[in-house]
Structure 1
Amino acid sequence: MTIIKPLGYIGKQEITATADRLLAQIEASAIPPKWPQVADRAADFLQLDIQWERFDPVRDGVVAAKIYPDTKEIYLNEAFPLIVDSSGFYQSTLAHEIGYWLLHVDSDNVDIPATESDRERVFLCRNLDEQIIKVRHEKTPEEWREWQAQYFASCLLMPVNQLEEVRQGRNLTNWQHLKAIADELGVTISNLCNRLQDLEYIQKTSNSNRLYPGKKMRCP
């Protein structure tokens, strides 16, 4: 029996519902979620232990984090510059690993002694242009897991109700306003823009930094 779920299709609606359900559970607890440290609060709520370690690039590759499901431990790479220097990238990385835990780990089997293959299996959070949220049908199984975990991270860190709250009185096509929102939510500006584009709040051409209102902003 394995603690890793077989890879299956998990769409945006289901991933969003998983993140929203976790936020609702935390909200009902003694310590509700708080931005910009919502990923830390989620890890505490799920009793996932956070450790820092200098990864061996030969053994682990160039990665920011990994999770050991059988011990409920998330290890963050203290030698990975972005995760140390950017609080937004740290939150995204931690939320990404939480996504692995909720979407890909069979938590009912965590207490069952892990097989050797499970002990060796870790999930890696790679710095691939901050895991831009794009659905490409040619993805490998590992890339699909990466996409699912990172989409979960965006839903956890930037739920629609929170975006609606922080965007009040701000212009989403103004970079300075976006920077202020990103700081308030504890995310990177690129992750915020990807999320806003995915939700159709804004549009951005690939060869320009100019932003345009999306369908949601144009609706009365």
Structure 2
Amino acid sequence: MTSIKPARFINKSEITAIADRLLVEMRDANWTPKWPQLADLAADFLDLSIDYEDFDVGEDGIIAAKIYPTKKEIYFNNAFPAIRDNYGFYQSTLAHEIGHWLLHIDLNLPETVNDDLISTALPGEVFLCRSLDENKNKVVNQRTPEDWREWQAQYFASCLLMPLDKLEEVRRGRNLTNRQHLGAIGDELGVTISNLINRLQDLEYLEKGGNSKQLYPGKRLRLSE
């Protein structure tokens, strides 16, 4: 028995639809989405428990998180202190793991199994997340099934934490090319400024000039002015 779905290409539209559907399901259940704690609320809604532990590098290599599907548990690696120390990074990381849960885990498995089976689980019964790179948003950079899964989970996190309607709401009266304004938006949404800029670029609100850090209005922003 394996809890991991076979790797497959999932495009942006499908990932966006899955993230949007989760938000709709939360609203329908009177589990009102709220920012900046949205990822925590989503994890509670899905009945996922969150904890931290020290991982065995020799056994597993350097990994960021583990998901135990049959126990609905997510463990973050204590070796990544930014998960605890940076709230925006924590929210993005948790949303990333929720992405793995919804995109890559077979949710039709039995809800519980014997604890001894979990402790001696086969690789297919524990999902290992090896990347928390918020910049892993370029489709062309994905080469392996693992790369694809990490890109998909990170794209899901951006869609969940920064849905289009919410971005439209929080950008009113703000200049998206102003990093101070972006910082305020990031705090309001519970995301890092890096993740926010990546999302705004993907949605064509912003463009970057070459290797410069200078931000310019993107196609969507120009059309709205």
For the criterion TM > 0.5, the same-fold answer is: yes
Worse overlay, 192-201 or 1-10: 1-10
Find out whether 1:157 has 2:157 as its counterpart: no
Q: CA deviation at 1:206?
A: 4.2
SS of 1:76 mapped into structure 2:
strand
Shift of the 123–116 alpha-carbon distance from structure 1 to 2, 3 Å rule, reads: closer
TM-score (norm: length of structure 1) = 0.92
Partner of 2:82: 82
* Corresponding residue number in structure 2 for 1:95: 95
The answer as to whether partners of 1:92 and 1:187 remain within 8 angstroms in 2 is: yes
Provide the aligned C-alpha RMSD in A: 1.8
1:219 aligns with 2:215: no
Change (3 A) 1:31 1:137: closer
With 74-83 and 194-203 compared, the bigger mean Cα shift is at 74-83
Aligned pairs (5 A) from 1:54-69: 54-69=54-69
* Greater CA drift, 20-29 or 194-203: 20-29
> What is the deviation of 1:214?
0.2
Pick one of 116, 120, 125 that aligns with 2:122.
116
Q: Is contact 2:142-2:151 (8 Å) kept? A: no
Q: SS at 2:100's partner residue?
A: helix
Q: 1:210 to 1:110 in 2, by over 3 A?
A: farther
Report how far residue 182 of structure 1 moved: 0.4
Q: Take 1:201 and 1:110, find their aligned partners in 2: how far apart are those partners? A: 43
Map 1:1-220 onto structure 2 (within 5 A). 1-111=1-111, 116-119=122-125, 121-128=126-133, 130-136=134-140, 139-220=143-224
Equivalent position SS for 1:52: strand
**Aligned-pair CA distance for 1:146:** 0.4
Q: Match for 1:116: what amino acid? A: L
Question: SS of the counterpart of 1:166?
Answer: helix
Distance verdict in 2 for CA 1:55–1:179, change over 3 Å: same
Deviation at 1:150, TM superposition (A): 0.6
Contact 2:93–2:132 under 8 Å retained in 1: no
Flag structure 1 segments of 5+ consecutive residues without an equivalent: none
Identity %: 61
Q: Taking structure 2 as the reference length, what is the TM-score of the superposition?
A: 0.90
| CA distance, structure 1, for counterparts of residue 88 and residue 33 of structure 2 | 16
Conserved? CA contact 1:65–1:93, under 8 Å:
no
Would you say the 8 A contact 1:35–1:185 is kept in 2?
yes
Q: Give deviations 1:76-124, integer Å, cap 9, x for gaps.
A: 12331211211011011111110011001110124375773423x3221
Q: Matched residue pairs, number?
A: 218
Q: Summarize the Cα distance change of 1:59–1:205 in structure 2 as closer, same or farther, 3 Å threshold.
A: farther
- Give the ranges of 4+ consecutive aligned residues of structure 1 lying more than 4 Å apart after TM superposition: 112-115
- Is contact 2:4-2:124 (8 Å) kept? yes
For the 8 Å contact 2:4–2:127, the answer to whether it is kept is no
